[in-house]
């Protein structure tokens, strides 16, 4: 599935012959991220009752994890009410988690519609064309869509990877191993420990090993998970927007090509009509001259000519 994300090979004219099954962009990568984040099951999972049941449990567990985290942040706001710095940090993190929670909930609730859109974009053929100029236009649109979707995916998940490395690798090594175990750095128990990713109410006094490390890693995983849910939702809708833009571009190019063809046909038709008119006028003049010559050869014509000469 990930091959399309790293496929930078430009499309060729011969690809038009295979566009009945060609996917406009990277929908397979979108389906993969939706499945990994517990949003929409893949076709293989949906076809198996046992796999689908496990996937639903996976969805429910990830959904329920948000509740204690947000409850703990609200309790932390209540506990430290009056301390502007701590309350501001708690409130900001709470609303961030709340936004990620609603992103996740929205995608789950609208799973059939999103799945239908994905299947439509994957299975609907790209318009076929026989005009070389229109083929080049279609190839340009397809390549532009692929490039934009690839940029969206690479940037979004690149940011997620950097965040995961920071919170799951760098911070534990720096704060939990080097500072706490080698530098003997301790925190003030009267305030939330700054080594934590974010502030929750339970438990503030978890300053001994290994409970401190376990809670730190638990919060780090939650933060990365919420960030991935948000990135997944945003990248999915951006991909849909790029696909919609590509389809509209197809329509616009088709209409422009039809207009050009009609203008070309009209020009040829007018030119042909003008030529026929000229030929008709020439034939009419030739017929008129022939009739005049015939009239001159008749007796009446000769008599008229003699009368004219005598006068």
Stated pTM of the model: 0.66
Q: Find out whether 86 and 194 touch, Cβ atoms under 8 Å.
A: no
Say if 211 falls within a structural domain: yes
Say if 190 falls within a structural domain: yes
- 139 or 13: which leads in pLDDT: 139
Cβ-in-10-Å burial (0-12, 13-18, 19+) of 134 comes to buried
Say if 8 falls within a structural domain: no
Number of domains in the chain: 1
Mean pLDDT on 110-117: 85
Q: How confident is the model at residue 187 (pLDDT cuts 50, 70, 90)?
A: low
Reply yes or no on whether the pLDDT at 161 is more than 60: yes
Say if 310 falls within a structural domain: no
Angle, CA of 237, 238 and 242, to the nearest 5°: 115
| Average of per-residue pLDDT values in the chain | 72
- What pLDDT score was predicted for residue 149? 80
Task: For residue 311, give the 3-state DSSP assignment.
Answer: coil
- What pLDDT score was predicted for residue 37? 82
Which two three-digit tokens encode residue 176?
């939990």
Burial 84-103 (b: 16+ CB within 10 A, else e): eebbebbeebbebbeebbeb
pLDDT in tens, 26-83: 577 788 888 888 888 877 888 888 988 898 898 888 888 888 778 878 887 888 788 8
Say if 37 falls within a structural domain: yes
Q: How confident is the model at residue 121 (pLDDT cuts 50, 70, 90)?
A: confident
- 3 or 87: which leads in pLDDT: 87
Say if 151 falls within a structural domain: yes
Say if 9 falls within a structural domain: no
- What pLDDT score was predicted for residue 305? 47
Nearest-angstrom CA–CA distance, 150 and 26: 7
Which two three-digit tokens encode residue 235?
């990248």
Q: How confident is the model at residue 20 (pLDDT cuts 50, 70, 90)?
A: very low
Phi, psi of 251 (to 5 degrees): -65, -45
Domain boundaries, position 61 = 24-266
- What pLDDT score was predicted for residue 198? 62
């Amino acid at each position: 599935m990930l091959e399309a994300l790293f496929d930078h090979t430009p499309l060729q004219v011969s690809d038009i012959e295979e566009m009945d099954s060609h996917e406009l962009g990277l929908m397979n990568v979108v389906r993969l991220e939706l499945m990994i984040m517990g949003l929409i099951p893949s076709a293989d999972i949906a076809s198996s009752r046992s796999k689908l049941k496990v996937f639903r449990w996976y969805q429910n567990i990830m959904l329920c994890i948000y509740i204690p985290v947000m409850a703990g942040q609200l309790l932390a706001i209540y506990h430290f009410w009056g301390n502007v710095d701590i309350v501001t940090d708690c409130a900001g993190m709470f609303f961030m988690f709340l936004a990620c929670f609603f992103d996740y909930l929205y995608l789950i609730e609208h799973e059939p519609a999103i799945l239908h859109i994905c299947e439509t974009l994957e299975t609907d053929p790209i318009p076929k064309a026989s005009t070389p100029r229109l083929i080049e236009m279609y190839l340009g649109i397809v390549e532009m869509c692929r490039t934009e979707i690839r940029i969206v995916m690479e940037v979004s998940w690149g940011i997620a990877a950097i965040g995961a490395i920071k919170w799951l690798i760098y911070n534990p090594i720096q704060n939990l191993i080097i500072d706490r175990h080698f530098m003997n750095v301790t925190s003030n128990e009267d305030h939330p420990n700054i080594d934590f990713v974010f502030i929750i109410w339970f438990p503030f006094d978890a300053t001994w090993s290994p409970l401190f490390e376990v809670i730190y890693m638990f919060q780090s995983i939650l933060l990365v998970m919420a960030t991935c849910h948000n990135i997944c939702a945003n990248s999915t809708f951006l991909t849909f927007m790029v696909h919609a833009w590509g389809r509209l571009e197809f329509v616009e190019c088709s209409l422009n090509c039809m207009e050009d063809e009609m203008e070309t046909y009209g020009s040829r038709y007018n030119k042909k009509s003008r030529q026929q008119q000229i030929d008709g006028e020439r034939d009419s003049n030739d017929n008129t001259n022939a009739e005049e010559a015939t009239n001159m050869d008749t007796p009446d014509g000769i008599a008229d000519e003699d009368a004219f000469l005598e006068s």
